[in-house]
Structure 1
Amino acid sequence: MNALAAGVLFTVMLPASADDTRNLYQVQCASCHGEDRLGGIGPALLPGNLSRLKPEAAEAVIRYGRAASQMPAFGEQLDDSQIRSLAEWIYRAPEVEPTWGRDDILASHEVSHPDGSLPDELLFDADPLNLFIVVETGDHHASLLDGDTFERIHRFETRYALHGGPKYTPDGRHVFFGSRDGWITKYDIYNMEVVAEVRAGINMRNIAVSADGRYVMAANYLPHSLVLFDAHNLDLMKVYPAVGENGESSRVSAVYAAPPRGSFIAALKDIEEVWEIPWPLPIEPVVSTGHMATPLATQRSHDTPNFRVRRIPVPDYLDDFFFDLEYEHVIGASRGGDSDGQGGMVVNLDSGDKVADLPLEGMPHLGSGITWEHEGRRVMATPHLTKATVSIIDMTDWTVIETLETDGPGFFMRSHANSPYVWVDVFFGPNRDRVHVIDKKSLAIVETLIPEPGKTAAHVEFDRYGDKLLLSLWEEDGAVIVYDGDTLEEEQRIPMSKPSGKYNVWNKTRYEEGTSH
């Protein structure tokens, strides 16, 4: 919000109606957040974009401002009634649903350094494949960490409310960030510079990068669309309205890259379809050195032309995904199937047939699932968002072989091929300061750590070797804690502002089995 207009400080009388509140917004807020609340210098102020911010917290931001941002305090200009009316008004759905089409996307596009214009050498001394990007949501920054020394190489400002995790190019040089407000930022890690930005939508869920690093796709809640970009400078290639064969429009829950298939896979929230969109296959396949059972696709199991949608009808709405190693099957969270309206379903992506139902009560967070080898069989594990359990599933016959009781519902799971342990947080509820350590062989919880009593402990990420790991104290005055992966001993703390995700270049580009994708 902006209290200055043409150099004059405005004092506004108590609004008595929605019209007065709308006028108050236009005077105090529109210059930063946009006349239609779609964002500008500041973030979009629409209900979907504010889902992480409670109304009472919004009042506090208006009254006191936001540290380390351009948001000023209005407590001395506006009285309590005005602040309450503004906070209430921004949570109302707009009278006319906003649009964001091709012309809007093109107009938002900015190229700071055309791809290839910056030097190819690193400006710092570190292993480029053992770097971490740490997203700090407290003040909307990201930190670049050396994964060998855990020294902070650089800290830089990001867009508001990054969402869905940054994605790397295969060589690890470039990283793409996606924000809740729809902004995609391409960042050159070697030179620590922004290359290009573009706004793909108003409320974006996540982005995916093709396995060859040539294409970026964005999944939007608002508008209902998928948007394809050339990864070099984020030039717009195609907008896909998310409309089913029956004409019904849908929010897009997420989009994923499926390297062995050479395609993007999209989860649709409001229609019973999964979409697959192939990208052009390279003449010479890029071979992964990670756990993937199949290198990048050199031929497809279907004949869908490049960048064309292949619709896969499914028996239920699937809006949270996990894949097997070969990307032959998608495991999706479905709305039906058990007493709380949530379950799991396995669908073969080639035939479109349902292979199995999974009795997963309590909203399984499949997007955070991981796999490992157990007694000669591949298993997957997932936490649950509303139930204090971890489910472990045999991926050979899709049976639940173990259900572990935890100290509360969890959000993230992580491991590494070289680690004997799986880590899962207790993100929701009174025990959010705890994290469980599960033994991969016994499938039992063998340790429960409390890094800082009363402070949320969440989201583990290992280094490229599986020797060390990072855990977040998810607080405004938080930290990233470095642990020894074998002894589970704390080694050091790096102060950070509400660090959320931590993303290791090797694990993400090599599709390490202990890291979700």
Structure 2
Amino acid sequence: MNSSDRPAPSSCQKYSFAGVMLIATLAMAPLTAWAEGDAAHGRALYDDHCADCHMASRLGGTGPALIPQTLRRMYGPKLDTVIRDGRTATQMPGFGEVLSDGDITDIAAYLSQPLAETPAWGMEEILETRAFRDDYTPAANPVFDADPMNVTLAVEIADSHVSVLDGDSFARLARFETPFAVHGGPKFSPDGRLVYVVSRDGWVQKYDLWGLTEMGRIRAGLNARNIAISKDGKWLAVANYLPMTLTILDAATLRPERVIEVRGRDGTPSRVSAVYQAPPRDSFVLALKDIPEVWEISTSENPPHRGWVHDTRVEGPPEITRKFPIRKIAVEHILDDFFFDLDYEHLIGASRETEKARVLDLVIGQEVAEIDLPGMPHLGSGITWDWNGTRVMATPHLKEGMISVIDMTTWQTVKRIKTEGPGFFMRSHANSRYAWADVFFGPNRDVMHVIDKETLEIVKTLRPAPGKTVAHTEFTRDGRHALVSIWEDDGAVIVYDADSLEEVTRLPMKKPSGKYNVWNKITFAEGTSH
């Protein structure tokens, strides 16, 4: 359905095109925190006060989905506050003058209840959500004077926006609204002109970076993890928790092309933890949450045949000639976090079942090595560089204050660098002698470690905002500057000279999380996550 085919909007939908799904922000909370509430009473209140925007199904309309899968990580004290007071810079009103504290607790209790049944979300349902400017032509040239390859996006999660920054002057070129709770890094078209983001609610948004204009959005799932774009830029893959599917979209039009039901060889269904592009292999690689398999899906015009099958549980229009055959590789343990070598011949996977990471040879489809990585490594944030005549990978750990450095030839541990607490993100650049690693968890969350890539020693510990979370470094195209987030509602992006480690400037922002430089991402630079 084209946007021109749609009926007139209701009173709750009379907003700009960019607000197809208005951002009614709720803070995330442990579901058990509301067990004392009266869920039945909460449902009646929800139907009266919330369903117009969030729908009676709780699957979202002009407001986001309010189901356990999207509320699981919310903090309890914030949930009742947002219901009571609303949220500035969004369409979420406050209900404090209408509802009592007990009423608000009851609504929260209802929202913690799982849905009675998993709703259908196939080709028809996805297509019905599509709102796209089919008459829009992407800009032939940038509408700004900055280097388009040195543009950096800063995701601001406090009010669901993205700031578009000039990577040389650090001026803000634009700031656009996104769906609620963007998750996973934005993905750029191979030429860097277009960018795609996905929300936890499964909304995929397409934005023309050169024209600074949103082109459209579609809801590819009900609870999504991340997206990947194919090597040729023609296809988007959306990893879904709910339903347990992988949705493939036409990147040009955002029309759904395939909905692949994810089931293991024995028929066990699985959520998709993440999907990655493997450029040299012209494929998508899937991390699966519930089954000990790794899936590879070919995006090639002429895919290999040996070991690849055309799954019968695939929904899509018959006229589409691209079949996206699937290769299912059995592994010993469930691997839900991946790292790839630069050639994408080896996949390193972490498992919650063991403190050993596995090395999977994607060419032969077999596990070939084991790595000693205790403390739950965050492989998705790992980086590589050349060191003493070999290539090493380095990864932070989610449960222990250390960074592991691994020789990628022998798969042996070179060193464990002790840090001031568990970390989440690590970044570097080919032109920089340093790697930057945050301490995202615990009392030292205001720390950013700078590590010499030759000596493997911490050479400086930065505390740019004492008491506030400091995280996620990104470099400019040339590696001369490093951008760091103060991850707070009244936060900022701090720009550092990447050589002297001196602060250059601060850009005030609303809880900035990740930053993503166009050049670094489209070239799959060694210092950034892929």
Contact 1:140-1:159 at 8 Å conserved across structures: yes
Query: Equivalent residues in 2 for 1:465-480 (5 A)?
Result: 465-480=478-493
Q: Among residues 381, 385, 394, which one is paired with 1:381 in the alignment?
A: 394
TM-score, length basis structure 2: 0.89
The answer to whether structure 1 residue 191 and structure 2 residue 204 are counterparts is no
Query: Equivalent residues in 2 for 1:257-276 (5 A)?
Result: 257-276=277-296
- What does the per-residue CA deviation read over 1:205-243, in whole Å, with 9 as the maximum and x for residues that have no partner? 000001211110000000000011111011111010010
Distance 2:89 2:271 in 1: 33
Q: CA deviation at 1:245?
A: 1.1
Query: Equivalent residues in 2 for 1:12-161 (5 A)?
Result: 17-114=38-135, 117-161=137-181
Instruction: Give the alignment's Cα RMSD to 1 decimal.
Output: 1.7
Q: Classify the secondary structure of the residue corresponding to 2:484.
A: strand
Could you tell me which amino acid in structure 1 is paired with residue 152 of structure 2?
Answer: F
Of 346-355 and 145-154, more deviation after overlay is shown by: 346-355
Distance 1:347 1:156, change over 3 A: same
Q: CA deviation at 1:19?
A: 2.8
Distance 1:178 1:304 in 2: 28
Contact 1:423-1:460 at 8 Å conserved across structures: yes
The answer to whether structure 1 residue 498 and structure 2 residue 511 are counterparts is yes
Q: CA deviation at 1:41?
A: 1.0
Could you tell me which amino acid in structure 2 is paired with residue 486 of structure 1?
Answer: D
- What does the per-residue CA deviation read over 1:257-296, in whole Å, with 9 as the maximum and x for residues that have no partner? 00000000001110111011111259xxxxxxxxxxxxxx
The answer to whether structure 1 residue 230 and structure 2 residue 243 are counterparts is no
Q: Among residues 331, 344, 357, which one is paired with 1:327 in the alignment?
A: 344
Distance 1:514 1:302, change over 3 A: farther
Distance 1:466 1:113 in 2: 38
The answer to whether structure 1 residue 307 and structure 2 residue 324 are counterparts is yes
Distance 1:119 1:47 in 2: 40
- What does the per-residue CA deviation read over 1:402-447, in whole Å, with 9 as the maximum and x for residues that have no partner? 0011000000000000000000000000000000001000011111
Q: CA deviation at 1:355?
A: 1.2
Gaps of 5+ in 1: 6-14, 283-298
Could you tell me which amino acid in structure 2 is paired with residue 477 of structure 1?
Answer: D
Q: Classify the secondary structure of the residue corresponding to 1:48.
A: helix
Could you tell me which amino acid in structure 2 is paired with residue 219 of structure 1?
Answer: A
Distance 1:514 1:301 in 2: 34
Contact 1:113-1:194 at 8 Å conserved across structures: no
In the other structure, the counterpart of 1:168 is 188
Superposition misfits of 4+ residues, deviation over 6 angstroms: none
Contact 2:396-2:437 at 8 Å conserved across structures: yes
Contact 2:139-2:208 at 8 Å conserved across structures: no
Q: CA deviation at 1:303?
A: 6.7
Q: Classify the secondary structure of the residue corresponding to 1:27.
A: helix
In the other structure, the counterpart of 1:280 is 300
Matched length: 484
Distance 1:262 1:114, change over 3 A: farther
Q: CA deviation at 1:318?
A: 0.5
- What does the per-residue CA deviation read over 1:72-108, in whole Å, with 9 as the maximum and x for residues that have no partner? 1111110010011111221221222333122110111
Could you tell me which amino acid in structure 2 is paired with residue 72 of structure 1?
Answer: P
Of 266-275 and 84-93, more deviation after overlay is shown by: 84-93
Distance 2:227 2:299 in 1: 15
Could you tell me which amino acid in structure 2 is paired with residue 360 of structure 1?
Answer: L
Could you tell me which amino acid in structure 2 is paired with residue 42 of structure 1?
Answer: G
Q: CA deviation at 1:119?
A: 3.2
The answer to whether structure 1 residue 246 and structure 2 residue 252 are counterparts is no
Q: CA deviation at 1:174?
A: 0.2
The answer to whether structure 1 residue 210 and structure 2 residue 223 are counterparts is no
Of 488-497 and 50-59, more deviation after overlay is shown by: 50-59
Distance 2:414 2:435 in 1: 16
Could you tell me which amino acid in structure 2 is paired with residue 66 of structure 1?
Answer: R
- What does the per-residue CA deviation read over 1:337-378, in whole Å, with 9 as the maximum and x for residues that have no partner? 33xxxx311111122221111121111100000000001100
Q: CA deviation at 1:156?
A: 1.1
In the other structure, the counterpart of 2:362 is 349
Q: Classify the secondary structure of the residue corresponding to 1:89.
A: helix
Distance 1:147 1:83, change over 3 A: same
- What does the per-residue CA deviation read over 1:458-485, in whole Å, with 9 as the maximum and x for residues that have no partner? 0000000000110000000000000000
- What does the per-residue CA deviation read over 1:168-204, in whole Å, with 9 as the maximum and x for residues that have no partner? 0011100000100000011001111111211110000
Distance 1:480 1:119 in 2: 28
The percentage of aligned residue pairs carrying the same residue is 53
Could you tell me which amino acid in structure 1 is paired with residue 385 of structure 2?
Answer: W
Distance 2:63 2:110 in 1: 17
Contact 2:329-2:366 at 8 Å conserved across structures: no
Contact 2:38-2:109 at 8 Å conserved across structures: no
- What does the per-residue CA deviation read over 1:138-194, in whole Å, with 9 as the maximum and x for residues that have no partner? 110100000011000001111100001100001110000010000001100111111
In the other structure, the counterpart of 1:485 is 498
Distance 2:427 2:281 in 1: 25
TM-score, length basis structure 1: 0.91
Gaps of 5+ in 2: 1-10, 13-35, 310-322
Distance 2:489 2:501 in 1: 25
Of 304-313 and 221-230, more deviation after overlay is shown by: 304-313
Could you tell me which amino acid in structure 2 is paired with residue 256 of structure 1?
Answer: Y
- What does the per-residue CA deviation read over 1:286-329, in whole Å, with 9 as the maximum and x for residues that have no partner? xxxxxxxxxxxxx8695747511111111110000000111111
Distance 2:105 2:354 in 1: 42
Contact 1:473-1:479 at 8 Å conserved across structures: yes
